[in-house]
Structure 1
Amino acid sequence: MAQVLPVVQIKVNSSGSWANLITCNGGQYRDVKAACEILAKASKGPVSFKAFDTASGELIEFYRDGEWRSQERKD
């Protein structure tokens, strides 16, 4: 049986609060992550992203300081 890819919600934080950025099909997730990385590199300030499975609400990955991680660091 083929794995069902989740619908993914990407949130962005560039000024202290989280905002919805984009919702994409799981098959597009890799491309959307790459686009987020390009946006982060182009930003004059720090940018973070969170990716959530829209069905479960669970965090899939978190982007900060130039890398994607599966768990948020408690800095």
Structure 2
Amino acid sequence: MKSMPMNEKGIEHYRIKSDDGKHVIKGLHYIQNVNELHSRLKHWIHRFKGVASNYLDNYLAWFFICG
């Protein structure tokens, strides 16, 4: 199964530039939360010694189900 771009899946993408002093978008997307989630995901995926991009959607679903 080939991955689809985010916009084709209906997922919105926000860019948060911390160098301009703005750390929040729409009161929902805090740069600290994004960085923390990225850190947890990176640590979680590291145990697999990398993942195949064909199955990335499955790994992400597993990650979010596990909490």
Question: Which structure has greater strand proportion?
Answer: 1
- Do they superpose with TM above 0.5? no
> Normalized against structure 1, the TM-score is what?
0.28
- Flag the structure with larger Rg: 2
Question: Which structure has greater helix proportion?
Answer: 2
